[in-house]
A and B are shown apart, each in its own frame.
Chain A
Amino acid sequence: MTTMLQVATRKGAWMFRADANRKTWAVDGPHFLGHIISHMVLDPRDKTTLLAATKTGHLGPTIFRSVDEGRTWNEAAQPPAFAKAPEGETGRAVDHTFWLTPAHGNEPDVWYAGTSPQGLFRSDDGGVTWTGFPSVNDDKQFREWMGSEKDGTPDGPKLHSITIDTRDPNHLYFGMSGGGVHESLDRGKTWRTLINGMEVPEGFGFDVTKPDFHDPHCLRMCPSNPDRIYQQNHSGIYRIDRPSDTWVRIGRNMPPAVGDIGFTMTVHPRDENTAWVFPMDGTQVWPRTSPDGKPAVYVTRNGGETWQRQDSGMPTQQAWWTVKRQAMCCDTHEAVGLYFGTTSGELWMSRDEGKNWECMARHLPEIYAIEALNL
Chain B
Amino acid sequence: MKVLVPSALRSYTESSQTEASGATLDEVLMDLDIQYPGIRFRIIDEQQKVRRHIRIFVNGVSAELLSQTMHANDDVVIVQALSGG
Residues of A that sit less than 8 Å from B by CB: 56-60, 62, 75-77, 79, 81-85, 90-94
Q: Nearest-CB distance from A76 to chain B (Å)?
A: 8
- Residue pair A91, B41 in contact (C-beta under 8 Å): no
Which one, B37, B48, B51, B84, contacts A59 given CB within 8 A?
B51
When C-beta atoms are compared, the residue in chain B nearest to A91 turns out to be B47
Q: What are 9 A-B pairs with beta-carbon distances under 8 A?
A: A57-B84, A58-B53, A59-B9, A62-B38, A62-B41, A81-B41, A93-B47, A93-B49, A94-B46
Q: Nearest-CB distance from A172 to chain B (Å)?
A: 24
Interface centre among B42, B53, B80, B81 (most CB of A within 10 A): B42
Q: How many A-B contacts if CB must be within 8 Å?
A: 54
Within 8 A of A (CB), among B56-84: 80-81, 83-84
- Residue pair A93, B45 in contact (C-beta under 8 Å): yes
Q: Nearest-CB distance from A129 to chain B (Å)?
A: 12
Which one, A62, A76, A77, A84, contacts B46 given CB within 8 A?
A84
- Residue pair B47, A60 in contact (C-beta under 8 Å): no
Q: Nearest-CB distance from A17 to chain B (Å)?
A: 26
Chain B residues with CB under 8 Å of A85's CB are: 47
- 1/0 contact trace for B25-61 toward A, CB 8 Å? 0000000000001100111111111010110000000
Which one, B46, B48, B49, B51, contacts A58 given CB within 8 A?
B51
Chain B residues with CB under 8 Å of A56's CB are: 8
CA distance A30 to B19 in the complex (A): 32
CA distance A57 to B6 in the complex (A): 13
Chain A residues with CB under 8 Å of B48's CB are: 84
Chain A residues with CB under 8 Å of B51's CB are: 58-60
- Residue pair A92, B37 in contact (C-beta under 8 Å): no
Chain B residues with CB under 8 Å of A75's CB are: 37-38
CA distance A91 to B46 in the complex (A): 8
Chain A residues with CB under 8 Å of B80's CB are: 58
Chain B residues with CB under 8 Å of A82's CB are: 46-47
Which one, B37, B41, B84, contacts A60 given CB within 8 A?
B41
Interface centre among B46, B48, B53 (most CB of A within 10 A): B46
CA distance A133 to B19 in the complex (A): 37
Chain B residues with CB under 8 Å of A81's CB are: 41, 45-46
A59-B43 contact, Cβ under 8 Å, with A75-B37, A75-B38, A77-B37: yes
When C-beta atoms are compared, the residue in chain A nearest to B9 turns out to be A59
Interface pairs A-B: 3 shortest CB-CB: A93-B45, A81-B46, A59-B42
Q: Nearest-CB distance from B29 to chain A (Å)?
A: 13
When C-beta atoms are compared, the residue in chain A nearest to B42 turns out to be A59
When C-beta atoms are compared, the residue in chain B nearest to A81 turns out to be B46
Which one, B8, B38, B43, B46, contacts A93 given CB within 8 A?
B46
- Residue pair B42, A62 in contact (C-beta under 8 Å): yes
CA distance A75 to B43 in the complex (A): 15
- Residue pair A58, B83 in contact (C-beta under 8 Å): yes
Q: Nearest-CB distance from B16 to chain A (Å)?
A: 16
When C-beta atoms are compared, the residue in chain B nearest to A79 turns out to be B41
- Residue pair B41, A58 in contact (C-beta under 8 Å): no
CA distance A81 to B80 in the complex (A): 22
CA distance A60 to B42 in the complex (A): 4
Known A-B contacts: A75-B38, A93-B47. Give 17 more (CB < 8 A): A56-B8, A58-B6, A58-B8, A58-B80, A58-B81, A60-B41, A60-B42, A60-B51, A62-B42, A77-B37, A79-B41, A82-B47, A84-B46, A84-B47, A84-B48, A85-B47, A94-B45
